[in-house]
Amino acid sequence: MIIIIFFVAHWFLSLFFQTFYLHRYAAHKMFTTPKVTERIFHTLTFICQGSSFLNPRAYAIMHREHHAYSDTEKDPHSPHFFTDVFQMMYKTAISFRIYEKRIREPEAQFKGNYPEWRFLDYYGSHTVTRILFGLLYVAFYTAFATAWWMWLLLPLHFIMGPLHGAIVNWCGHKYGYSNFDNGDKSKNTTPFDFLMLGELFQNNHHKRPNSPNFGARWFEIDPVYPVMKVMHYMRIIRLRKPAIA
């Protein structure tokens, strides 16, 4: 039971900071927050993603490219140019590393206005750090796993961040329904998107990329948006004015 709780906690905490901090803040700047609070969110993203920590700068650049070139050959991770999800993940990882290591600079339109913390971004993405997190996961499973099948969950901890991204990019542009004609293949994979915290409302998001509420119809509930509204009223963050209503 402890292993299941740990896995579910890791799944949702990692996913929350990916959608809240990396996606809605780093890539889209849907809200503002003081520098101290930004650093707290940055640190929590590192801790919760652990061995699969995603550099906020690299994430923001690639996501902006994705919106600009959605489902074209210049899209860094459109599923329509790969035979399977594993090929897409591999190509995405290569492109991500280029920006993470600053091997190549992005186009000017995709640069700037994203959080950078050189110290944490460097050590958070370092191989030694990733291995140490992996060893902690192994130690936890060694201490608390009570059945062989629980060990099947262990590899997912190692790639939690990229796994969430792969699910969203693959399913969100292949399966489901559309509310809007966005000129791409974005879909709302499910009308009840709790397991992915609203991220699979891709068709809605591509129509309104700067809206913090990924839901569009009455039954499309984005569970992160109410959390953001509470944070806004507590003055932890400040949502853009049109998004407060």
pLDDT (tens digit per residue) in 191-226:
989 899 999 999 999 999 999 999 999 999 999 999
| CB proximity list for 212: less than 8 A, separation 6 or greater | 24, 30, 31, 224, 225, 228, 239, 240, 243
Lookup: tokens for 148: 């062989």
How much is the pLDDT for 241?
Answer: 75
β-bridge mates for residue 239, sequence order: 31
DSSP string for residues in 57-100: HHHHHHHHHHHHTTTSTT-TT-GGG-SSHHHHHHHHHHHHHHHH
To 5 degrees, how large is the angle CA 62–CA 225–CA 23? 10
Q: Pick out the chain residues at pLDDT < 50.
A: 245
What DSSP element (H or E) covers 13? helix 2-17
Report CA-CA distances (Å) from 203 to 40, 112, 173, 185, 228: 31, 26, 8, 8, 21
pLDDT value for 176: 96
Angle among Cα 149, 45, 199 to the nearest 5 degrees reads 75
Identify the pLDDT of residue 192: 87
Helices marked H in 115-175: 118-124, 127-144, 154-158, 160-171
Alpha carbon 16 to its chain's center: 8
Determine the length of the chain.
245
Q: Tell how many helices (H) and how many strands (E) occur in the chain.
A: 10, 2
Q: What is the pLDDT of residue 240?
A: 87
